[in-house]
Chain A
Amino acid sequence: VKGTNTALRASARKLLVILEVVVSFECEGRSETPRSSVVNGKQQIPVLQTNNGPSLTGLTTIAAHLVKQANKEYLLGSTAEEKAIVQQWLEYRVTRVDGHSSKDDIRALLKDLNSYLEDKVYLTGYNFTLADILLYYGLHRFIVDLTVQEKEKYLNVSRWFCHIQHYPGIRQHLSSVVFIKNRLYTNSH
């Protein structure tokens, strides 16, 4: 298993560092071997070698670890409910978003997500969390390929995605996806 070896001190780090680690892994994995994400039907799994203690394996595990190291624990949710919801969507990211990539799967996924986000600003409701960050990264490659019409169809996803990509420091070097403000298709349902 190939991954990113990053030695991190236990001292506080900026959110940016976390994002760079995560994004660089994700992009690196893809740019080196465009289809490597599906070698033997398996996603490449990142490993983090820490200075003290054993290494950590798994994207969401590492991300949660780094968030704590950076004293940004609020990104994991503040109440028990929120913490569970964050973890649920992190799991969703690595199982559903990374797991499948057929057109139909993605369409079904966007449909569900669109319905879920109907009354929410962020995945937990009102607070920005790690779940938003990782789901944004995970979905980016699908969202860039959507037609204008599809973006209107998944209106709530678009609104959320657009919001997250403009969140300070999140987008990194990913391309900015354009969402048109005026509706082009009135009957897109």
Chain B
Amino acid sequence: MRLFVSEGAPGSLPVLAAARRAQGRAELLISTVGPEECVVPFLTQPKVPVLQLDNGNYLFSTSAICRYFFLLSGWEQDDLTNQWLEWEATELQPALSAALYYLVVQGKKGEDVLGPVRRALTHIDHSLSRRSCPFLAGETESLADIVLWGALYPLLQDPAYLPEELGALHSWFQTVSSQEPCQRAAETVLKQQGVLALRPYLQKQPQPSSLQGRAVSNEPEEEELATLSEEEIAMAVTAWEKGLGNLPPLRPPQNPVLPVAGERNVLITSALPYVNNVPHLGNIIGCVLSADVFARYSRLRQWNTLYLCGTDEYGTATETKAMEEGLTPQEICDKYHAIHADIYRWFNISFDIFGRTTTPQQTKITQDIFQRLFSRGFVLQDTVEQLRCEQCARFLADRFVEGVCPFCGYEEARGDQCDKCGKLINATELKKPQCKVCRSCPVVKSSQHLFLDLPKLEKRLEEWLENTLPGSDWTPNARFIIRSWLRDGLKPRCITRDLKWGTPVPLEGFEDKVFYVWFDATIGYLSITANYTDQWERWWKNPEQVSLYQFMAKDNVPFHGLVFPCSALGAEDNYTLVSHLIATEYLNYEDGKFSKSRGVGVFGDMAQDTGIPADIWRFYLLYIRPEGQDSAFSWTDMLLKNNSELLNNLGNFINRAGMFVSKFFGGYVPEMVLTSDDQRLLAHVTLELQHYHQLLEKVRIRDALRSILTISRHGNQYIQVNEPWKRIKGSEADRQRAGTVTGLAVNIAALLSVMLQPYMPTVSATIQAQLQLPPPACGILLTNFLCTLPAGHLIGTVSPLFQKLENDQIESLRQRFGGGQLEESLELKAKVSSKPAVGETVTATGPQQIQVLMDEVTKQGNIVRELKAQKADKNQVAAEVAKLLDLKKQLALAEGKPLETPKGSGSDFGSVAATGSSST
């Protein structure tokens, strides 16, 4: 069975605590999904947690999931428990969701929060004391305790909301909270951030219905704005009134950018894309685009910022590619470096430097670090058993070997890693190895190699991590990966390879070997900086003054968080080490992974041929940034987000604000006389702006984008409620009111243009040109909302910012990028049909087999689509369709699903990840 949870979803608490009961009774897989993801095929609204049962049915009720875990452990249902659970669902939950909404989403405190739940809390307290049992349904802890505890924990863990007079409730809550399964669940879900950990999730949920009932009778606006204190409003008004006078002078541009003592110096790197391929959308969002948003934000904060990247050019993959294309490795690098640079230019990536690793500086710095490690005894020498192709007369590097994965049986496993099961492989362990060049079978021979003695450096690494991690913004996945590597114990890592295309090893007896990318790719950042300025050491040997942010996809975490720090610590040269390691999860493409060979997915160079502007791509990729969990690119969703969020929300608001100034006030920003309602709006926008800052400071890029859209929604509402287009025709007072509303709205638009700058730089510049926003206000973002367009300011010509995406346009793009070439599909078909053993592989249905089947289904689906598109012979199509149906059936069996899965889309959805970057 499979449990789906979302980060910050309160329902996870009881479910995870109860899951312990079922341990050993059934296999439980836990998947984290986005809060807006619809896991249950028959429910329109997203719902988590959800348990998918082995028979294919779903439990979408938190209590029912807990109940199921208890039933599995042999527990029997009883009246008292039923009664508590029914009460929890009908009475406690509505009250609690209102309280949590007030507390978490609206930021209310005290009695505002406690009020709605007080009756329910008292009820529990009385029941406990009347029955004088320690637990709700008797002498031992049981289902009712777990379910109620889980519901109450987010609120009651703050002692402020656990009224002292309710003694029985108090001691019950303490007792249950101290149970180990509960403690663990609490840690997992709240992550020691308290109730605020629920904010990202609860914000995305519709307002609790228990609260909507009230909102009808009261004024909804008032409800929401009441959360602001008078002080907050007063502060927001003061800041607003100071206007442009509040802005510090713009930092003059520097070249080269160097750290300045006493300032915040931010060094940003994006994982070096491997030169042998064109990057796809997953690569782009995984590192360069994410890092670009942060770099732009950092500059808006006037932090001293250097953003660098470059192509990673050495290694076996380049040699392979060179062989394929009949060029020298150097020519390949030159060609692809230019392709990369062009793509990033089109995406408007604001590198200070976009360099490359094949430079003399790379050799110099790598060899220097190596010599230091060698002379300090951190390098070992050993003999390695290695595959050698006699026909090609050379040792085969990992990528030159292919064979059958020893773990999952996948037939095209690479020499270093299996793409199917993801396990790392020793090339000599491959079954049926083949030389990728000549296809002959290599033999095992021995060769001398150098190893980085990681075990000897482990202690230093741990000390450094202990000092670095607490309070830093390392993403949870990065922390997790490093922790698991350390838990398994570090092993010596081979740092040399039998290759020509690489940094030479400066040691006798190793003249025909080069450094492995494991060792020298991350040194690329240093050498690229050294090619930018001869004072590069002021950035890279300056840990006291420099904050280093490194962006990458999660597969790169070990190199940046572990191998390079070990090298640098061992070299003892005061290197700047990563302060914040920002790793994304993977981005999938529609129903599978990006695949260059199959022509599936959008690659950087094709994005510009779609006719969709770079900023729209940036927006959508950032909107679905795989932050905290994998996400998927979908054409339909892109259309939806463009049309709803950009066109109808953001674009509509900014355009209306500007148009009112032009149409009603001749282009001059009108006089603004703020009413108390306007002041509240000011404070509200300020609050959201501050939230945006908090998120971006923590590099929560995707979440911060939501703040922009929220402000614009507030703006639209404000215009809608105040109807300046009607008031402009009314009395003098009405006309003045129309002026104030228009003036405030256009200032919000100006603020949005700056907040938008990291995400959509071109659109931002367009808005600023339309509004004629004064230069310092364009380049600086403070934590307060200022009046940057004072009364009398003349704006420019206003025109629409976004274009609607049409269904047929998107559909034709999907077709263009969705499928493979015919020849390739036929080749695939041959593979599928030559594999009658598929059925057999399913008998032991592990997740890998299911994965294999899923891929087969995807492939076969492509074949069928292809044939249909080619209008192929009917019989041929029918035969392929039959195969597809058979594969689907096998998959359904393997997954334990009923054969007729409703709407079937679930089984078509591959989940193989597209790696977000590749400096490996």
Footprint of B on A, CB under 8 Å? 41, 43, 45, 56-61, 64-65, 76, 80-81, 83-85, 87-88, 90-92, 94-95, 99-100, 108, 111-113, 115-116, 118-119, 125
Contacts and interface: CB of A to CB of B under 8 A. Distances in A.
Given A64-B79, A76-B77, A81-B55, A91 B68 contact: no
A100 B209 contact: yes
B86 A84 contact: no
Contact of A58 (B45, B67, B83): B83
Contacts, number: 97
Nearest to B213: A41
B407 interface: no
B64 interface: yes
A57 B903 CA distance: 40
Contacts of A61: 79, 82-83, 86
Contacts of B42: 112-113, 115-116, 118
B464 interface: no
Contacts of A116: 42
Given A64-B82, A76-B77, A115-B902, A84 B87 contact: no
Contacts of A41: 210, 213
A119 B898 contact: yes
A56 B86 CA distance: 11
Contacts of B764: none
A64 B77 contact: yes
Interface of A, secondary structure class, is: helix
A85 B87 contact: no
B53 interface: yes
Given A81-B53, A81-B55, A83-B71, A88 B79 contact: no
Given A64-B82, A119-B900, A91 B87 contact: no
A88 B61 contact: yes
Interface in B67-99: 67-68, 71-72, 77, 79, 82-83, 85-87, 89-90, 93
B61 A112 contact: no
B57 A81 contact: yes
B86 A94 contact: yes
A125 B53 CA distance: 13
A106 to B, nearest CB: 13
A65 B83 CA distance: 10
B60 interface: yes
A80 B61 contact: no
Contact of B77 (A43, A83, A94, A113): A83
Interface residues of B, number: 36
B87 A57 contact: yes
B44 interface: yes
Given A80-B71, A81-B53, A58 B61 contact: no
10 contacts: A41-B213, A58-B87, A65-B82, A81-B54, A83-B71, A85-B64, A88-B60, A94-B89, A100-B209, A125-B57
B63 interface: yes
A84 B64 contact: yes
Contacts of A56: 79, 83
Contacts of B44: 108, 111-112
Contacts of A118: 42, 902
A80 B72 contact: yes
B65 interface: yes
Given A61-B83, A111-B44, A112-B44, A91 B209 contact: no
Contact of A91 (B41, B71, B86): B86
A83 B67 contact: yes
Given A81-B54, A91-B64, 16 more contacts: A57-B86, A58-B82, A61-B86, A64-B79, A80-B68, A80-B72, A84-B67, A87-B63, A91-B63, A94-B90, A95-B90, A95-B93, A99-B209, A115-B42, A115-B43, A118-B42
A99 B208 CA distance: 12
Given A84-B59, A99-B209, A112-B42, A57 B898 contact: no
A60 B57 contact: no
Nearest to A79: B71
Interface string B23-60: 00000000000000000011111000000011101011
Contacts of B89: 91, 94-95
Contacts of B57: 81, 85, 125
B43 A112 contact: yes
A64 B83 CA distance: 10
A94 B68 CA distance: 19
A94 B85 CA distance: 12
Interface in B84-138: 85-87, 89-90, 93
A136 to B, nearest CB: 18
A59 B85 CA distance: 12
B339 to A, nearest CB: 46
A125 B68 CA distance: 17
Contact of A88 (B45, B64, B93, B900): B64
Contacts of A94: 86, 89-90
B522 to A, nearest CB: 50
B65 A84 contact: yes
A99 B45 CA distance: 16
Contacts of A81: 53-55, 57, 68
Contacts of B41: 115
Contact of B82 (A60, A100, A113, A125): A60
Given A41-B213, A100-B209, A84 B71 contact: yes
A108 B61 CA distance: 17
Nearest to A83: B71
A17 B65 CA distance: 31
Contacts of B68: 80-81, 83-84
A92 B61 contact: yes
A60 B61 contact: no
List 6 A-B pairs, minimum CB-CB distance, nearest first.
A88-B64, A84-B68, A80-B71, A115-B42, A58-B86, A116-B42
